[in-house]
Structure 1
Amino acid sequence: MSKGKVVLGVLAGVAVGGILGILFAPEKGSVTRKQIMDKGNDYADDFKSKYKDFADSVSEKFQSAKQEAQGLAENGKAKYDEIKKDAANAISNYKS
């Protein structure tokens, strides 16, 4: 199971538990609605923060993989050029 699904499941469980706890509390309706909105905003802010951290992590991994791929491509091209040069030298030596 991916980290994103686990985080989303935990946040959803916490949100449902908080809302149910508030709904069953003996408060006036207006107070309960305000509490629900406050908790909802808290959970939304927490979710946004976790999502941003996750997105940043994915972005960093992508950049790292991109740099590694560029390095591999450069090494491969250098090796190709070296082999091409060696082959040209071998052909020219063979013809001589």
Structure 2
Amino acid sequence: MAQEGDWANPDGVLMVVEVTSRDRDTDRRDRIDKVRGYAEAGIPICLLIDRDNDTLVVHSEPQDGRYQQSPSYRWGVAVALPSPVNVTLDTEDLKDYAD
């Protein structure tokens, strides 16, 4: 795993939720580095709430340190999270937090 020692033990973790920050290095850190770290750790789902783009990105199917699937959804739609989470998120309320 990249940056070993910076990450908690992922055993039993089914999903992480990451919300983009407003920092200048958000693109690299929140959209690339953290997502890669979660994939390398084998965490099945990484849900990225992207405040800059008003989207949710559902990263899934980690393999060889990368997520194989990363569909993006606009806020306001129902988003089905794949296995092993298997829930549908109603993202309508996220519109209330858009700038």
Category of TM-score, reference length = shorter chain: under 0.3
Q: TM-score, normalised by structure 1?
A: 0.26
Comparing both structures, which one devotes a greater share of its residues to strand?
2
| Structure of greater Rg | 1
